[in-house]
A and B are shown apart, each in its own frame.
Chain A
């Protein structure tokens, strides 16, 4: 024991020996958003670094399956940006930032084509263009994809682009703190190499956070271990604002059985390609909940429907619903959904081309996040930018499938450009040594605690609490109870202890994950308590209705003296020309399509 502690370097810190780097722009996160930001920031001669806590190309983005939504109009020519905008706002229940959604819908086709220029090879239409598939609550077939492995294509393309670019990549380096200067501007960050635990400080003029979401706060999740919300927590602690953080998306179809794979995503592509949902009575229950869009209704609706079927005791043996695609030709299923086919065959012994399989809701995505400016992704901390799942604004109360991959491309690029412009306008900041000293001490503390709490156990207890009290169904009562439990857990977590050395020590790494998650867990619960209504992903049994006055506010949270403070901010109203799009009950493209068809019908 004692020799271990010696090797963990608990002797007083000598700041001069800490590895230090200077960069104009440091991007934290090597998912789609981070890589796209790095590419944008490195267009000129600026010094750019990317830091990621896993290896290059392994970030959570790699798991995205269904596709990237862009109104290319390759299969449905009536599609255009305004329809995509309409769908996005509507599914977000109008608490999204309209400007963010507008920029997004207009720019995402260019970002997708840019990927093609860089070597991404999407599936093709018979005319040789990028193929697009239908997805829940999109008015048209809109998702560019490669089988059910679109995220892999995206990250691989960006990854190989970035390594051929003037960017330094630091793999397996975990950021534990953002550093500020005397005036509260960004000055850099502190982190450690996972490999051997040695510390590193980056002095940076601007930082882009692209650290993804925090699905790991829940027990059943489709997210990878990295999704512990580090970025949001880091930024929150230095004064950045969080918004709509109560909006956590539960994807309707995760795997249920066997236990080891519980939560693993079953892509919406299965329903997009024609998969149907049944309850234990073999009824297509979605016909009851949403007769128009049926299985392809938006995610919050389908997830809730499955949940309600189970409450009414019409669920499957392991508490889900049956998803069936076996009515389609086996060859087609294997060609269009090869990953799903393989996943079920090898992990669950189920051949999806022959039989139905069980699915149930799984934690999937966080709509809320760091509050940013729609044009530049700047936070309220000068020099700090955020893009991707860690940021907030595009998705409102419910994210459309396929919008996230577009999100990370569009706003990753914008954040990179804005960070570069900012970096070029300022001098290198001055670091405050006391901040670094304090952080070294904090980071090493778990090694010196005797018989403390085990980080892994803290993690599973936290997940238990969030799932039970702030999951897919919530009420004032459950949330209050959750808060209480969380507070107790937080106190215990202050005494987390780790064994062994600093070299590649997952126990030690988990300590920081747990700390981020507890902080964000509290934010989620406080946000959910404040939003006294049901809207999109937020479903409160004590306020089951969507209330018009609540549709006019976002809940913004700040961290003041160790406390989470929640306040209301009005939702920015849409300008005239955009508001007009919502006058009719139908999406603009659908109206145009109907008119065109009527014309043709009249003409013939």
Chain B
């Protein structure tokens, strides 16, 4: 029981930094966040780490453990027995201090998404099978690990040109809502940067909520955008349809 683990934790800020080693006694079922709390209490009271729930519900404690983007509160320490555990901040976001990064770009992107606008106020009549699909996206805890992994944001620093997988899932959530009337396809193509994604699926690999972002959100959205911009036959068909039933609202339901 009195086994010890060695954690090598990044310490530093924008001006630079390095990893520092700490020794932590291993307890049954300990997660990496527990170890960091131990370090705070005993060795480094000013070690910065973001966390709230310690139950994998809030998505605050995202970091990179031995190079993998993970939640600190959900990653068991015992799986690294015999290894040094390297804990570093998320790489795709500007560093604030130690393990804390500036994720505000996500909130700025979120603000731009055209909001859900239902055709009538609730109560809605919607069947479970109609909402199954969007409920998957509602599982998101906004940990932004997918954003951290997505190479478009991580390596190409293209936050201004692509909102990232989390926001694609959010847009899909509204776009596929049975009661929604907004058409966000032009927005997806021109503002949110959907075409920047090259469907390489890294976001799916790291999502702690197991949301299949690429296949269930991004690709269907790409197909919807293609309906509008890359499908001459449908365009003709749509024009024909619109002139015959002019009262139809042009929502994705009818297209």
Contact = CB atoms under 8 A, between A and B. Distances in A.
A506 B50 CA distance: 9
Given A63-B53, A346-B74, A455-B45, A119 B29 contact: no
B106 to A, nearest CB: 9
A7 to B, nearest CB: 12
Nearest to A4: B46
B76 to A, nearest CB: 7
Contacts of A103: none
B34 A260 contact: yes
A335 to B, nearest CB: 10
B184 interface: no
Contacts of A123: 128, 135
B59 interface: yes
Contacts of B131: 121, 124
A259 B29 contact: yes
Contacts of B50: 54-55
Interface in B92-139: 96-98, 100, 102-104, 107, 110-111, 115-116, 118, 121-128, 131, 134-135, 138-139
Interface stretch (A273-281, A380-388, A496-504): A496-504
Interface in A95-141: 113-119, 121, 123-124, 126-130
B104 A171 contact: yes
A508 to B, nearest CB: 7
Contact of A507 (B40, B58, B123, B170): B40
Contacts of A163: 107, 110-111
A213 to B, nearest CB: 14
Contact of B53 (A118, A130, A224, A342): A224
B189 interface: no
A116 B122 contact: yes
Interface stretch (A148-156, A287-295, A405-413): A148-156
A126 B126 CA distance: 9
Interface in B36-76: 40-41, 45-60, 74, 76
A175 interface: no
Contacts of B58: 57-58, 62-63, 224
A261 interface: yes
B116 A119 contact: yes
B31 to A, nearest CB: 6
Contacts of B41: 454, 456-457, 460
Contacts of B97: 503-504
B141 interface: yes
A221 to B, nearest CB: 10
B174 interface: yes
Contact of B122 (A55, A114, A156, A506): A114
A499 B45 contact: yes
Interface residues of B, number: 60
Contacts of B125: 127-129
Contacts of A572: none
Nearest to B30: A260
Given A119-B116, A224-B53, A260 B31 contact: yes
A422 B76 CA distance: 51
A259 B27 contact: yes
B191 to A, nearest CB: 15
A541 B108 CA distance: 54
A114 B174 CA distance: 16
A582 interface: no
A505 interface: yes
Contacts of B141: 62, 152
B51 A225 contact: yes
A55 B49 contact: no
Contacts of B170: 160
A224 B54 CA distance: 7
A113 B123 CA distance: 6
A457 B115 CA distance: 46
B227 interface: no
B149 to A, nearest CB: 19
Contacts of B128: 123-124, 126
A316 interface: no
Interface in A323-359: 339, 342-343, 346-349
Contact of A347 (B31, B107, B138): B31
B45 A507 contact: yes
Contact of B98 (A124, A224, A504): A504
A195 B101 CA distance: 10
A146 interface: yes
B116 A63 contact: no
A574 B56 CA distance: 43
A285 B4 CA distance: 41
A586 to B, nearest CB: 29
A460 B42 CA distance: 13
A475 to B, nearest CB: 32
B60 A58 contact: yes
Given A498-B45, A504-B98, A504-B100, A225 B29 contact: no
Contacts of B107: 56, 163, 169, 171
Contacts of B177: 119, 121
B30 A258 contact: yes
A119 B174 contact: yes
Nearest to B35: A260
A475 B131 CA distance: 51
A246 interface: no
Contacts of A169: 107
A226 B57 CA distance: 14
A573 to B, nearest CB: 36
B121 A501 contact: no
Contacts of B248: none
Given A118-B116, A119-B174, A506-B40, A456 B45 contact: yes
B27 to A, nearest CB: 6
A164 B111 contact: yes
A54 B60 contact: yes
Nearest to A151: B57
Contact of B29 (A114, A258, A456): A258
Contacts of A257: 28-29
A500 B138 contact: no
Given A62-B58, A121-B135, A504 B48 contact: yes
Interface string A430-470: 00000000000000000000000011110010000000000
Contacts of A115: 122
Contacts of A508: 46
B29 to A, nearest CB: 2
A507 B46 contact: yes
Contacts of B98: 504
A342 B135 CA distance: 17
Contacts of B28: 257-260
Nearest to B37: A456
A455 to B, nearest CB: 7
Contacts of A177: none
Contacts of B124: 116, 128
B57 A152 contact: yes
A26 interface: no
Contacts of B126: 121, 124, 128
Nearest to A110: B122
A346 B48 CA distance: 25
Given A498-B45, A505-B46, 14 more contacts: A56-B107, A58-B58, A118-B116, A121-B135, A121-B177, A151-B57, A152-B141, A160-B115, A164-B115, A171-B104, A259-B30, A460-B41, A501-B46, A506-B40
Report the 8 A-B pairs with minimum CB-CB distance, sorted nearest first: A258-B29, A500-B46, A507-B45, A116-B122, A119-B116, A504-B48, A456-B41, A128-B125
6 contacts: A58-B60, A113-B123, A128-B124, A160-B110, A348-B29, A506-B45
